[in-house]
Amino acid sequence: MNILVCVKVVPDSETIVKIAPDSKTIDETNIRLAINPYDEYALEAGVQLKEKVGGEVSVISVGDENASGVVKKCLPVGADRAIHLVALNSRMAEPLSIASVLADEIRSHPFDIIFCGKMTIDAQNGLVGELLGSLLNIPVVSAASQFSIEGDRAVVSRDVDGTKQIVECALPCLVTAEKGLTKPRYPSLKEIMLAKKKQIDPKPVILGEPNLCVHGLNYPPNRPAGKIIGEGAGAVPELVRLLTEEAKVL
Amino acid sequence: MTKVIVFVDHKRGVIKKATAESLSVGKNIAGQTPLTAVMFGAGAKDAVSCLSKYGADREIVFDNKHLKNPVSLNAVKPLVAIIKQEQPDIILFPHTAAVKELLAAVSANLGIAPIVDCVAIENTDGKLICHRPIYAGKVVVSLTSNQKPTIVSIRPNIFPVIERSAKTKIEEFAFQLNATDILTTIREISCDGKTRPELMEAKIIIAGGRGMGCAENFVVLEQLADVLGAAVGASRSVVDAEWQPQCIQIGQTGKTVAPELYIACGISGAIQHLAGIYSSKTIVAINSDPDAPIFKIADYGIIGDVKEVVPALIQELKKAKQSS
């Protein structure tokens, strides 16, 4: 089975986000880059599928030049190769531009299934997978919490606005990973050494002209400091009074 | 003249709160121009009274025997056809899980870069400046689109629902949808059997963290939720410890919520969690550690063991209910 996994290199979740002087981007100094967490679940799902049915896993990532070191980290996890589509200043590019570049590359690869993360933790659009699937004209099932292949169909469980759904579709298809779809493994030293022989192909790409104009970035308004009502169960009557009379939320 | 279409998310004909919010936003933008709601599925015509209440002047309905799941990817062809016929300036979607695949498919089809998950929208002569949180809500970006139509989705539970009374005209849309247009099929739908509100739409959320001590202690949070008609959520560490399922996780790798009242029980308040609750109107924290970061953003705090404070809160609320 030919399995593709799309990953993005993002500032890790501990990053302290500081708005840059241009007020349209963030200060990128001292940022630690990592694979987007949802993409790690997607990669692990791809590798587990390969281990079950055989085949190959190819990782594809659109990103700036400095992302390649992090993309490489997918190889010891079990990817057979990685393609790095190098696009300058692409980290916060529009999802449709990213999906178009991915679609153009993927059209020259045979594939049975594509895994993506359900969203990235930086731009948090949660659209690239869905857009990519539509551009490739294949079914998309997003936010999978369980996944299996039954014959020539993919079967996915997911939570949709409070209800559990089991959805199925024909292959080839695209599945996006919710947290918990898989437990990403830690590659062993041996796997890390072996992966050094695997390739990462950098390919320069050019993104389309943007259609969205960024006016600026702002910090969210600070929440006013609250008050400690008291200690233990004795403070409960006062809490209920405040919620009823002051906050008026009960 | 700003022509606005709102896509209706609903469950078996019952429109979701996020749809009412979208209609309210849509009407504000449309002003005197008629507001159009687009609703798919068997219950679409019966929902008209509800759509009138939120200001829809027209309802375009479509149903087809193949379209068993009307709010899904499978609805892309008729929706694109309606957009091409109507030529709206703005298409508004509620940002719900059910709608997302459809929104993306419509955008890809029309070559439009959408702006999703907006928490504020400014309207200057039909040009929208949309604000959306990024980096887990650590910053908010403001964007405008230079494309027509502009595709926008709004985050549930943020925008107010405004009741109006419109006379809604129903128009049936004719479209040939074939069995081959159905890309995904639902094999099974199940609810967990609980009658609590959905997290994204809940007015009150009771959430538990590590400080609950063990999975069994969540029973008391469920009791509190039942007294208040609230939903139950959990912090990441609780989900990672498998005390609670992923679908109720709140925070950066879970759901972002905005209830009127959020009661955090035994949650220390990691930055990733705070990002997910920041837009809540009132936050209450109950935690035994007086230095827990949650107290920095909570409106009201009680320092104490959740296992004592929460049962006391249940008793107090029951007492208040009886006396009122």
How far is C-alpha B208 from the geometric centre of its chain's CA atoms? 21
Q: Which residues contact A54 (CB under 8 A, 6 or more apart)?
A: A1
Averaged over A207-223, what is the pLDDT? Answer: 95
Nearest to A46 by CA among A12, A23, A80: A80
Residue written as tokens 């939120």? B54
Q: Does residue A218 have a pLDDT over 90? A: yes
Per-residue tokens: A67: 């992302």
Amino acid (one-letter) located at B134: I
Chain A, residues 127-166, CB within 8 A of chain B, namely 127, 130-131, 133-135, 138-143, 145, 155, 159-166
Segment A138-149, tens digit of pLDDT: 999 999 999 999
Q: Cβ separation of B186 and A180 shorter than 8 Å? A: no
Q: Does residue A225 have a pLDDT over 90? A: no
Q: Does residue B192 have a pLDDT over 70? A: no
Q: Cβ separation of B302 and A230 shorter than 8 Å? A: yes
Phi/psi zone of residue A102: left (φ > 0), alpha (ψ -120 to 50 degrees), beta?
A: alpha
Measured between beta carbons, the chain B residues lying within 8 angstroms of A242 are 300
Q: What is the model's pTM?
A: 0.95
Please answer whether residues B287 and B308 qualify as being in contact, where contact means their C-beta atoms are separated by less than 8 angstroms.
no
| Distance in Å from the first CA to the final CA of chain A | 56
Query: What's the rounded Cα separation, in Å, for the pair A211 and B227?
Result: 49
Residue B81, class by beta-carbon neighbours within 10 Å (0-12 exposed, 13-18 middle, 19+ buried)? middle
Averaged over B243-256, what is the pLDDT? Answer: 94
Nearest-CB residue to B98 (from A161, A179, A212): A161
Nearest to B74 by CA among B118, B26, B106: B106
Instruction: Write down the pLDDT at residue A200.
Output: 92
Average pLDDT for chain B? 95
Task: Give the H or E element holding residue B300.
Answer: strand B300-303
Query: What's the rounded Cα separation, in Å, for the pair A128 and A120?
Result: 9
In which band, very low, low, confident or very high, does the pLDDT at A109 lie, cut at 50, 70 and 90? very high
Task: Give the H or E element holding residue B256.
Answer: none
- How many pairs of residues across A and B have Cβ atoms under 8 Å apart? 256
Instruction: Write down the pLDDT at residue B193.
Output: 63
Q: State the nearest Cα–Cα gap between B279 and chain A, in angstroms.
A: 9
Measured between beta carbons, the chain A residues lying within 8 angstroms of B271 are 14
Residue written as tokens 């459809």? B102
Nearest to A226 by CA among A247, A240, A197, A212: A247
Per-residue tokens: B254: 């879970």
Q: Is the ipTM of this complex over 0.85?
A: yes
Instruction: Write down the pLDDT at residue B141.
Output: 98
Phi, psi of B163 (to 5 degrees): -85, 135
Query: What's the rounded Cα separation, in Å, for the pair B196 and B243?
Result: 19
Nearest to B320 by CA among A250, A200, A213, A35: A250
Per-residue tokens: B100: 């997302």
E-only strand ranges, chain A? 2-7, 9-11, 33-35, 56-63, 81-86, 113-117, 140-150, 153-160, 163-170, 173-177, 200-204, 212-218, 227-231
